[in-house]
Structure 1
């Protein structure tokens, strides 16, 4: 006897309905705030000859692009499944997160080059303009951070935008410090040093986004979920003889899924065992998207140590 069941519970972390609309409104407000300030910062940065300000403005441009991309991804992810896209376009949000991470890394490489060049040949920097603009930037970014921080950060898409904004906030703080140093001491290289500090933060945030989105694209198990431990836990459940072809992955952020082939002792109720395993996966591991193929074990499997499948994928888990 065999059975496959897809169980869709309500415990996963992706957003629907009102909360998704709320996220869109929050991100749109943050986008408007950032675009308005960015335009003014570019003008001041050119007049003050400040790389730190120009780099902040460039980072704000990527902030704006990341928010716009996130909004597009949200719209695509909300579309119902159609045709060959049986899960819809939910992974559009992961593409957005990966693009945000790559953008941060590429921008950090360019800023590193410019900062090193200015450390060697520092231009004259107008410290007062830098300090005033940076302090205004801190206020703007605090507002944008507050707006996006209210959205659902379980979504890697929203988290990618949040990392952009937070990094930009740190950048403005570093730029304000650099401007103050220039005003008080005339040390022009402080501007380039501030840029390098910001680069370090950008690399950390960008690498984290690329790593996390890459794990989803490569069908890796979500962080904190060990397929080996879960397989052993399922194999110890009543009437389970063996669990193999166990796969655990994420459809998108907050949507873990699992599939497995389960062999049940002869004479036992396969449907009851399947429901029990689904309950364990949902209650203990918050996996609500499950597909379990359940069969009775053969007499040969029960008496001889051999595999049920000729070509199993991954280890088999059996009761100890």
Structure 2
């Protein structure tokens, strides 16, 4: 007896409601308006710290725009060759956003180091006032994004970026005040390097997480080996092989496996028990389980529909996933 079962559910990944879009747009308007003003003030004040903050805010705005575009794409139904639809569009945009952060960080590092050795005149008062306004704007934008659904990698990335901007503006405000009090203009470049550290941290995180999904790795915090042992530990389950755990997109884990049960077991009952355990203990509700009786290969009969040996239906000659077997009792 062979049973193959797959099912999908409505997952809470990504931003889905109109209210979520509205919060993202509010944050985008706040960030874009202030970013434009900051570029002008940064040029007038000759402040690299302000310009680096503006560059960081540009990536924040881009991440929100990409999240909105990916949201619209992800809403399209699966059809044709795109059997998952466009749900991974958000992962593409998250990776692009992370790479952009790293490239901007490299350029700002070069400029900051150059200014440490050849510091220009910096208007400390303009830097301080602009940074204080930036703190207020980032607090408002962070609050707006926090109201949206943050299970999407893009939305969470945008949230973390704006939060990082808040700390960056605090560093810039401190630098502006220090330049006013001490006249040491190199402090502006030091504040820029603080922003660079935050940009690298956010960029590496986005590239790492999006890369994990592209490479079909198991979700963070999920151990496929542990799952396999739990599955084979259930009564009547003898072996689990071709076990795969991956994420279709952020917040939507999936699992597939070939399960062999003892010859007296009810395949349907075992499959339901496995699905309940995976949903309860690992929050994996998108599963595809093929359940067969162990030892079917001992019989030379053929499947009437496929005209294939039963052994080929029960066992994989070349398993392409983890294999877990129930321990045999000692003789």
TM-score tier by shorter-chain length is: over 0.9
Q: In terms of mean alpha carbon deviation, does 122-131 or 261-270 score higher?
A: 261-270
Residue aligning to 2:186: 189
1:208-263: CA deviations, max 9, x gaps? 11111110000000111111111011001111111000000000111000000011
Q: Distance in 2 between matches of 1:202 and 1:74?
A: 24
Counterparts of 1:62-211 in structure 2, within 5 Å, are 62-211=59-208
Equivalent pair of 2:15/2:71 in contact (CA under 8 Å): no
Q: 2:152, 2:5 → 1: CA distance?
A: 26
CA distance in 2, matches of 1:111, 1:162: 22
* Residue from 267, 284, 287 that aligns with 1:287: 284
2-structure distance, mates of 1:50, 1:93:
34
2:4 aligns with 4
Asked if the contact 1:63–1:164 (Cα under 8 Å) also holds between the matched residues in 2, the reply is yes
CA–CA distance in 2 between the matches of 1:66 and 1:268?
51
Hey, what's the Cα distance between the residues in 2 that align with 1:263 and 1:75?
41
d(CA) in 1 for partners of 2:321, 2:63:
38
1:177-222 Cα offsets, whole Å, 9 max, x none, are 1000011111100100000011111111111111111100000001
Map 1:219-258 onto structure 2 (within 5 A): 219-258=216-255
Q: Name the counterpart of 1:298.
A: 295
Tell whether the 8 Å contact from 1:34 to 1:64 is kept in structure 2 after alignment.
yes
Q: How many residues align?
A: 312
1:138 Cα deviation from its structure 2 partner: 0.7
Tell me the secondary structure at the aligned position of residue 312 of structure 1: coil
Question: Does the CA contact (< 8 Å) of 1:13 and 1:253 recur in 2?
Answer: no
1:12-23 alignment, distance < 5 Å: 12-15=11-14, 17=16, 20-23=17-20
1:187 to 1:282, Cα distance in 2 relative to 1, 3 A? same
> What is the CA-CA distance between 1:300 and the residue it aligns to?
6.4
Which of 292, 311, 315 is equivalent to 1:308? 315
Partner of 2:33: 36
- Deviation at residue 15 of structure 1 after TM alignment: 4.7
> What TM-score do the two structures reach when normalised by structure 2?
0.91
- Unmatched runs of 5 consecutive residues or more in structure 2: 299-313
Q: Hey, what does 1:56 align to over in structure 2?
A: 53
Question: SS of 2:239's equivalent?
Answer: strand
Task: State the alpha-carbon separation in 2 of the partners of residues 59 and 179 from structure 1.
Answer: 18
Shift of 1:314: 2.9
Counterpart Cα distance in 2 of 1:45 and 1:167: 19
Q: CA deviation at 1:9?
A: 4.0
Distance in 2 of aligned mates of 1:193 and 1:50: 11
Is the Cα–Cα contact under 8 Å of residues 245 and 261 in structure 1 kept in the other structure?
yes
For structure 1, the residue ranges without an aligned partner over 5 or more in a row are: 302-306
Give secondary structure in 2 for the equivalent of 1:266.
coil
The answer to whether the 8 A contact 1:282-1:288 is kept is: yes
Deviations 1:49-105 (A, max 9, x none): 111111111221221111111110111011111111111111111111111211111
Q: Which moved more, 1:159-168 or 1:75-84?
A: 159-168
Is the 1:100–1:161 contact (alpha carbons within 8 Å) kept by the matching residues of 2? Answer: no
Runs of 4+ aligned residues of structure 1 deviating over 3 Å after TM superposition are none
Residue of structure 2 aligned with 1:262, choices 254, 259, 263: 259
Could you say if the C-alpha distance between residues 205 and 16 of structure 1 is closer, same or farther in structure 2, counting changes exceeding 3 Å? closer
Match of 1:304 in 2: none
Supply the distance in 1 between the matched residues of 2:195 and 2:296 (Cα, whole angstroms).
65
Work out the CA distance in 2 between the residues paired with 1:142 and 1:93: 25
